Amino acid sequence: MRKFQALLLSIFLTNMASAERPNILWFVVDDMSANFSCYGETTIQTPHVDRLAREGVKFTRAYATSPVCSSFRSAMITGMYQTSIGSHHHRSGRGEHRITLPDGVQPVPKLFQDAGYYTCIGSGLADRDYRSQPTRTRTQNRLGKTDYNFDWDKSIYDSHDWSGRQPEQPFFMQVQLQGGKLRGASATQYENFNQQVKAALGNVTDPSNVTLPPYYPRDSILLKDWSTYLDSVRITDHHVGLVMQRLRDEKLIDNTLVVFLTDHGISHARGKQFLYDEGTHIPLVIRGPGINRGATRTDLVEHIDLAAVSLAAANIAIPKTMQGKNFLAANFQPKQAIFAARDRCGEAVDHIRSVRSERYLYIKNFFPQRPHLMPSTYKDGKLIIQRLRELHANQKLSPLSENLLFAPTRAAEELYLYGQDRWQTTNLADDPQYAQDLAKHRQRLIQWSEETNDLGPETPEVYTLETEDQMKATKSKTSRESYRANTELYKRWAREGK
């Protein structure tokens, strides 16, 4: 009898959802800034994301609350600040140290599933995987990237693709794409990716046409890396176009809310893992039922808001504890400030917080005696970081590059002015003219930390558990030894109060 009642409830929810609720599809892309034509990028063309923007709304001031994959995704899938749920340390809670979500917090797919939606996560295409390469046996039915820093039940996902749902059943789909990771980190990987780009798009981007942020030298290795990165943007755009065409072919386009975003900015020395715009500013485009065509929003939004936006679109109640806000609601009040946090990434221990307001970016460095480019097995394995360190050692970097990338210490506080300092190169924190604004943002950060129960740094014991677990999972002896040496350095710095 209970099974029969459960079946009737499932049918009821499916029919109700089908009649009243749209499909929800998220494109979530790794390691990519807003380098799309619709955001002003001129070196390449991105026609498919541009079309999304023409047919929907483009947000110009959308930001990640975390600039690294796992903590970003933990926040995204719960609609909560990663610092509030204990998921703020990159790749944590997967060994002896376990992390469970606070009472009342559930992953968004579970909320959709309970409401009768079919939940899926994959590439969005039957013949292409998350790298936009032809599927193989091992990738054919593969679930997309999750990377959550807490214990979760895999049953929250029904499948890798919406094709497995019941007739007329609405779906919540995440199309997870490798994005900026496609370019790799070495010359060999660049060349391998070039072949994929040529096969799909006919040509690769000329490195000489690249425009770099002012603190990166116009060095051949950095230019090649950036041009290859731009080609990863083009491949991503191409994949988006194929998925959108599938929606049209299956006559799903008119009843599907499509969200396009990336999980943080470009992976570079001042991008990924850091709270400057290069690390946290992300593209965000939304298209679908009830969305104004060709609109542009310039107010501040956070990526955790997408949970509330999507639930509301599906007529699913937004949990009262959820910190993300439905910025598409008729009564939504624009945010006066938004926040971001960077904590341990791999073995590299840091503690940075930021506040963005209409005019300013305020950053608080809690470990100012540590350099910006601290030792990191992940970062130091990249050809671009190795090249920057080489140029630094040979005194071939500009004063700006030296100051921003290789100074032995950092300012405890940073304050940057929007509209006049695109790349955040002029710190106004010590300028008396901005003393009141500095104090205001400092206090706003303190208030946010208290209101949201910012859990802050790990204990030394948890750090040891997490890093030991990572080393057990590292197959390369060289990487493992480098990682271990770095952990000992960070432990010594902690003992010294550095």
Q: What is the tens place of the pLDDT at every residue in 421-441? A: 999 999 999 999 999 999 999
Q: Is residue 301 part of a domain?
A: yes
CATH code for the domain in which residue 146 is found:
3.40.720.10
Arithmetic mean of pLDDT over the chain: 95
Task: Give the integer Cα–Cα distance in Å for 122 and 360.
Answer: 38
Q: Strands of 360-365's sheet, edge to edge?
A: 338-342, 352-356, 360-365, 413-417
pLDDT of residue 6: 40
pLDDT of residue 14: 46
**What would the mean pLDDT of 27-33 be, rounded to a whole number?**
98
**Selection from 112, 110, 107, 130 nearest residue 23 by Cα:** 112
pLDDT of residue 139: 80
Maximum alpha-carbon separation in the chain: 78
User: If pLDDT is split at 50, 70 and 90, which confidence band does 10 have?
Assistant: very low
Judge whether residue 135 has pLDDT over 60: yes
Q: Is residue 359 part of a domain?
A: no
Q: Is residue 383 part of a domain?
A: no
Judge whether residue 414 has pLDDT over 90: yes
443 phi/psi in degrees, rounded to 5: -65, -35
Q: For residue 281, is it left (φ>0), alpha (ψ between -120 and 50) or beta?
A: beta
pLDDT tens digits for range 34-83: 999 999 999 999 999 999 999 999 999 999 999 999 999 999 999 999 99
Judge whether residue 138 has pLDDT over 90: no
Domain with 101 in it: 12-328
User: What does pTM read for this prediction?
Assistant: 0.95
**What would the mean pLDDT of 101-112 be, rounded to a whole number?**
97
Count of all residues that appear for the chain in the document: 498
Q: Which amino acid is at 370?
A: R
257 phi/psi in degrees, rounded to 5: -85, 120
| Residues 187, 26 contacting (CB under 8 angstroms) | no
Q: Is residue 21 part of a domain?
A: yes
pLDDT of residue 20: 73
Judge whether residue 8 has pLDDT over 60: no
Judge whether residue 13 has pLDDT over 60: no
Q: Is residue 422 part of a domain?
A: no
Instruction: Give me 370's structure tokens.
Output: 């540590």
Give the CA dihedral 277, 64, 87, 112, nearest 10 degrees: -170
| Residues 47, 54 contacting (CB under 8 angstroms) | no
pLDDT of residue 64: 98
pLDDT tens digits for range 33-42: 999 999 999 9
Task: Give the integer Cα–Cα distance in Å for 43 and 40.
Answer: 9
487 phi/psi in degrees, rounded to 5: -60, -40
Q: Is residue 449 part of a domain?
A: no
**Selection from 82, 33, 401, 62 nearest residue 214 by Cα:** 401
Instruction: Give me 18's structure tokens.
Output: 């089908």
**What would the mean pLDDT of 122-135 be, rounded to a whole number?**
96
User: If pLDDT is split at 50, 70 and 90, which confidence band does 140 have?
Assistant: confident
Count of the separate structural domains present in the chain: 1
User: If pLDDT is split at 50, 70 and 90, which confidence band does 3 have?
Assistant: very low
pLDDT of residue 277: 98
pLDDT tens digits for range 378-397: 999 999 999 999 999 999 99
Q: Is residue 80 part of a domain?
A: yes
Lowest mean pLDDT: which of 18-22, 146-150, 262-266?
18-22
pLDDT of residue 460: 97
pLDDT tens digits for range 171-202: 999 999 999 999 999 999 999 999 999 999 99
Q: Is residue 352 part of a domain?
A: no
User: If pLDDT is split at 50, 70 and 90, which confidence band does 316 have?
Assistant: very high
| Residues 56, 287 contacting (CB under 8 angstroms) | yes
Cβ-Cβ contacts under 8 Å for 155 (sequence gap 6 or more): none
State the burial class of residue 469 (Cβ atoms within 10 Å of its Cβ: 0-12, 13-18, 19+).
middle
pLDDT of residue 137: 83
User: If pLDDT is split at 50, 70 and 90, which confidence band does 305 have?
Assistant: very high
Cβ-Cβ contacts under 8 Å for 131 (sequence gap 6 or more): 178, 182
Judge whether residue 18 has pLDDT over 80: no
Where b means 16+ CB within 10 Å and e means fewer, 13-48 reads: bbeebbeebbbbbbbbbbbbbbbbbbbebeebebeb
pLDDT of residue 298: 98
